[in-house]
């Protein structure tokens, strides 16, 4: 029997990280966690009630700022691909949230009335009436 490991049997050991590299990696992971929490937080706060639109805006601005910082760190320090892909995905969600916030701010009163109507609606027919009321209150496209 051959006990000598072949080229395929050799294991590569990861190089040891210096203390500065470990601290940088820990800071990147902390920033990434804060970024994920701010993206998810802005999405879930938007779902709560339209009166919290200001909080959604603050969380979205924080997530965009953190996302840009993470992109710069990931590109400059050659961080993991997972952090890079997660940051890009989160920035896409944040961009969509910016569009939602702008549309909701423009039609704030109509959305607030719709949410109040749906909150009172107990049946499917009542919810349908709320949707029709919302459609009637929004501006029509002129042909």
Task: Provide the whole-model pTM.
Answer: 0.72
Q: Are residues 115 and 101 in the same domain?
A: no
| d(C-alpha 126, C-alpha 42), whole Å | 29
DSSP state of 138: S
How many structural domains are present in the chain? 2
- Which domain, by its residues, includes 137? 107-143
Q: Are residues 65 and 122 in the same domain?
A: no
- Does 43 share its domain with 57? yes
Residues 47 and 68 in one domain: yes
Are 41 and 34 in contact by the 8 Å Cβ rule? The answer is no
HSE, CB side, 13 Å, CA atoms: give it for residue 65.
8
Range 90-106 average pLDDT: 92
Q: Is the model more confident about 7 or about 16?
A: 16
Question: In terms of domains, do 118 and 78 share one?
Answer: no
Report the range of poorest mean pLDDT among 48-62, 111-125, 128-142: 128-142
Confidence of residue 82 (pLDDT cuts 50, 70, 90): confident
When comparing pLDDT for 73 and 42, which is higher? 42
């Amino acid at each position: 029997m051959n006990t000598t490991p072949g080229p395929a049997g050799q294991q590569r050991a990861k190089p040891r990280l210096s203390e500065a590299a470990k601290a940088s990696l820990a800071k990147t992971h902390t920033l990434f966690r804060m970024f994920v929490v701010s993206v998810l937080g802005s999405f879930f706060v938007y779902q709560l009630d339209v009166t919290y639109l200001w909080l959604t805006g603050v969380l979205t601005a924080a997530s965009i700022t953190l996302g840009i910082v993470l992109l710069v760190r990931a590109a400059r320090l050659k961080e993991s691909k997972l952090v890079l892909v997660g940051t890009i995905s989160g920035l896409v969600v944040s961009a969509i949230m910016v569009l939602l916030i702008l549309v909701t701010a423009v039609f704030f009163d109509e959305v607030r009335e719709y949410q109040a109507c749906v909150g009172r609606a107990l049946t499917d027919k009542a919810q349908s009436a709320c949707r029709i009321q919302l459609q009637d209150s929004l501006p029509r496209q002129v042909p």
